[in-house]
Amino acid sequence: MESDTKKAEKNWKHSLLYLTFIITIIHLTHQTNFSRKLIIGNETVRIKKTSDLPLRFRSDGTFKILQVADMHYGNGMVTRCKDVLASEFEFCSDLNTTRFLKRIIQAESPDFIAFTGDNIYGPSSSDAAESLFQAFGPAMESRLPWAAILGNHDPESSMNREELMSLISLMDYSVSQINPSADCLADSAKGCTPSKIDGFGNYNLRVYGAPGSMLANSSVLNLLFLDSGDRVVYQGIRTYDWIKDSQLHWLRHVSQEPQVTLTGTRAGSSSIY
């Protein structure tokens, strides 16, 4: 009896040792391979992943954009589809949207994805950040550069327009911006007044010429994103918001910009521009 107890104790000790070993290995593997984290002081900072920038045309002269609007993403698996047949209802959720987006990215191999509003659907989303991560998941997984702006339903959950655009601009492979910054501020003397622009999600993405071409260092296409706002009550009537003078002013300024050839250092810098 006594030796059996000792044997059991020994086995138990071995198991414990083995378990500790496994946990240590998992921990080390995770630390070295899977967590791209930087520790600054006692705060953990995650580094945003970016694709090859700047955006540019392919050598065959094409630049394919996949535009996706109105995903109306909610809480994922538990959010049922709207406007489907009664027979489809039980098996249709946000995950069908995810699957569709993955398939279309794979089928089309775009160079850039533009999400143009109502990415998430406030009333169906209990956590805006979580819904955004799920909605843009396929874009982030594809590692393609992507950008988004907001619709009227995006801010109806737990984040306002500014918070949403801040988060979207920080997500992996996103080239979204909250509003024009250095780009326009530097030119304030020339009548550009971006310090006060209405809305969140007004920005200009420059697409450069094909690698090795005459236009390799030139922006040949401007993708302009504008925030057309939310809902407002105007003269007692509840209606949709609109694009304001400050935005048109910026738009006019950007569109008058000559086709500049940027220097290699700017084009090759690690920031977006």
Ligand X SMILES: *[C@@H]1O[C@H](CO)[C@@H](O)[C@H](O)[C@H]1NC(C)=O
**At closest approach, how far in Å is the CB of 216 from ligand X?**
5
Residues that contact ligand X, how many (by CB under 6 A): 11
**At closest approach, how far in Å is the CB of 212 from ligand X?**
8
Alpha helices in 63-190 (DSSP H): 86-89, 94-108, 128-135, 137-142, 161-170, 182-185
Beta strands in 22-76 (DSSP E): 37-40, 43-46, 55-56, 65-68
Total Cβ atoms within 10 A of residue 128 = 21
Among 5, 32, 33, 42, which residue sits at the site for ligand X (rule: CB under 6 A)?
A: 42
Binding of ligand X at residue 217 (CB under 6 A)? yes
Site string for ligand X, 89-108 (x = CB under 6 A): --xx---x------------
Pick out residues in 250-269 that bind ligand X (CB under 6 A): 264
Query: Cα 235 to chain center, whole Å?
Result: 36
**At closest approach, how far in Å is the CB of 79 from ligand X?**
12
Residue 191 makes CB contacts below 8 A (sequence gap 6+) with: 249, 253
Binding of ligand X at residue 219 (CB under 6 A)? no
Binding of ligand X at residue 214 (CB under 6 A)? yes
Among 216, 221, 223, 243, which residue sits at the site for ligand X (rule: CB under 6 A)?
A: 216
**At closest approach, how far in Å is the CB of 91 from ligand X?**
4
119, 171 Cβ separation under 8 angstroms = no
**At closest approach, how far in Å is the CB of 221 from ligand X?**
17
Binding of ligand X at residue 84 (CB under 6 A)? yes
Binding of ligand X at residue 86 (CB under 6 A)? no
132, 100 Cβ separation under 8 angstroms = no
Q: How far apart are CA 117 and CA 32, in angstroms?
A: 37
Binding of ligand X at residue 220 (CB under 6 A)? no
The encoded tokens of residue 223 equal: 């993708």
**At closest approach, how far in Å is the CB of 112 from ligand X?**
21
154, 164 Cβ separation under 8 angstroms = yes
**At closest approach, how far in Å is the CB of 88 from ligand X?**
4
Binding of ligand X at residue 79 (CB under 6 A)? no
Q: How far apart are CA 59 and CA 191, in angstroms?
A: 37
The residue whose two tokens read 């990215």 is: 105
169, 178 Cβ separation under 8 angstroms = yes
Binding of ligand X at residue 26 (CB under 6 A)? no
Stretch that binds ligand X, among 23-31, 88-96, 174-182, 248-256 (CB under 6 A): 88-96
Q: How far apart are CA 220 and CA 225, in angstroms?
A: 16
Binding of ligand X at residue 88 (CB under 6 A)? yes
Alpha carbon distance, N-terminus to C-terminus of the chain? 76
Binding site for ligand X (CB under 6 A): 42, 81, 84, 88, 91-92, 96, 214, 216-217, 264
